[in-house]
Structure 1
Amino acid sequence: MITYRIVQAKPLVQADGSQVDERSPPDGAAPGTPYATWRTVFTGCVDITDLNPGPTPEEVFRYFQTLPLPEPTTRQQPPGNALVGLPVIFYTDTPATAEFTVDIRGFTVVIDAAITTYTWTTGDGSTLVTTTPGAPYPDETVTHDYTSGTYTAGLTTTWGGTYTVDGGAVTDVAGTTTTDGPPVTFTVLQARPVLTDPTD
């Protein structure tokens, strides 16, 4: 940012009573007292950006890591218990984007955050990494097959983003951060065929 500045000054009384800029101080004036008239020492344009540079990418990233990003919610279908041989569908309805405005040393920084990857822990030692949030049935974008047992699954979202400083150029955030959602626990049952008498 360029501003036009006028800088003026007055001489100060020296401890030894000597002249400043060929101007003698008044008799009896205490050291450090300004005297004489204002005089202009500078007029012109000054780039004040050099005096208070904008936020660095590292500064913005530190703020980015502390943003209250949405916590992901893990959804699974069928809800409740599942069956062996029937894939469990995972998805989340957590918002995939968020915008934040923060003040960094007097600069207005607008950060646009977006989920880049979804990491699903299935609870049986497997991990699924996707770039989409999945979707409920009949969509089967994110699924997993289980053997019988009880499992605890969870979701971690990885966020990237861009930012602007005082409405300037869009810049990539220099790194990513993650948020973890609450886990969900469910039981996978083994269905067993039962012979019945059709005449009963």
Structure 2
Amino acid sequence: MLVGWSCPEHQLPPVGVEDFRVLDIAPPDVGVQPAGAMLVNKPAILFTADDAQSFEVAISGFDVEIVAEPTSWEWTFDDGERLVTDVPGAPYPAFDVTHTLLAPLKGSTVGLTTSWSGRYRVAADPLHKWRAIEGTAVTESRSAPFDVIELRSTLTG
């Protein structure tokens, strides 16, 4: 064993969940189809982006690259229901993530809480090794408001 020698990895700064949670992770937009008024008892298609976001930061004097990747999505609805998915959904014709509202509502919205996992690498690391960040960060977003309407047929004649 050499005196005064240390593993280069042990001299690199650890990146904790506190460092991760202070990043300005942009919440993804919430897509709802069909656009405009929604019909009672018909499934609404829900979707969002699943793009990773990269950040260049300085921690303890080291240049650090951090990547935030979405891992799960919690959808909340004005009827009190919620849905947790491990996929972001997709626009029509996909029906990956849907929700059916059973009563008329004015100005309804869909809430979305996105959970993010993180990984980082330090520029000074000779191995350029990616390391996982323990814990998650979350962002919240809402869809544009829409009305849920009920269409009734009427016999005339």
Provide TM-score, normalisation by structure 1: 0.67
* Identical-pair percentage: 36
* Bigger strand fraction: 2
Aligned length: 150
The residue matched to 2:11 in structure 1 has which SS? coil
Tell me what 2:151 maps to.
191
Among 37, 46, 63, the alignment partner of 1:108 is: 63
Deviation (angstroms), 1:117: 0.4
- The whole-number CA distance in structure 2 between the counterparts of 1:142 and 1:160 is 21
Tell me what 1:90 maps to.
46
Rg (Cα) greater in structure: 1
Q: Which runs of at least 4 in structure 1 moved beyond 6 Å after TM superposition?
A: none
- The whole-number CA distance in structure 1 between the counterparts of 2:56 and 2:121 is 10
Structure 1 alignment gaps of length 5 or more: 1-43
Tell me what 2:12 maps to.
54
State whether residues 148 and 187 of structure 1, in contact with CA within 8 Å, keep that contact through their aligned partners in structure 2.
no
Change (3 A) 1:159 1:69: same
Tell me what 1:3 maps to.
none
Provide TM-score, normalisation by structure 2: 0.83
Tell me what 1:174 maps to.
134
Tell me what 1:67 maps to.
23
Structural mapping, 1:1-200, within 5 Å: 46-47=4-5, 53-58=11-16, 61-92=17-48, 94-150=49-105, 151-165=108-122, 166-167=124-125, 168-197=128-157
- The whole-number CA distance in structure 2 between the counterparts of 1:170 and 1:179 is 23
Q: Quick one: which amino acid aligns to residue 77 of structure 1?
A: Q
CA-based RMSD of the aligned residues comes to: 2.3
- The whole-number CA distance in structure 2 between the counterparts of 1:129 and 1:96 is 18
Q: Quick one: which amino acid aligns to residue 162 of structure 1?
A: R
